[in-house]
Structure 1
């Protein structure tokens, strides 16, 4: 194993962690937004969007393996 492949492997691991934490932070920030009527609870469309985003992340991870 040469140095280039080791650096690439470590860089991928770090980037995967950073992107995952960023996506989780974005989803959490979206869920803390006010609902459509100004209430502090998120609306049903916010929950659906959050669910779709998580599902898209899972699909992206599956496709990233290939």
Structure 2
């Protein structure tokens, strides 16, 4: 394994982690509808929690689908 391959491997790992953080932040923002936690009512917090749970279930489903095909 040469230096170029090692660098590419590290760049891919870092890029993947940054993309995952960005996607998770975007899903959380969409679930909260742009409001801060302090501004939300208990009902809105529960709805946001359910939306995040649904997004996680969707991600798991996509992973399973990729494995099948």
Higher helix share: 2
Structure 1 residues 49, 23: CA separation in 2 closer, same or farther (over 3 Å shift)? Answer: same
Distance 2:59 2:14 in 1: 17
**TM-score, normalised via structure 2 length:** 0.56
- Please show how residues 6-21 of structure 1 align to structure 2 within 5 Å: 6-21=6-21
- Name stretches of at least 5 consecutive residues in structure 2 with no aligned partner: 35-39
Cα RMSD for the two superposed structures: 3.4
**TM-score, normalised via structure 1 length:** 0.57
Distance 2:21 2:52 in 1: 18
Structure 1 stretches (4+) deviating beyond 4 angstroms? 47-50
Distance 1:17 1:48 in 2: 22
Give the C-alpha shift of residue 50 in structure 1: 6.4
Q: How many residues align?
A: 58
| Higher normalized contact order (CA 8 Å, seq sep 6+, divided by chain length) | 2
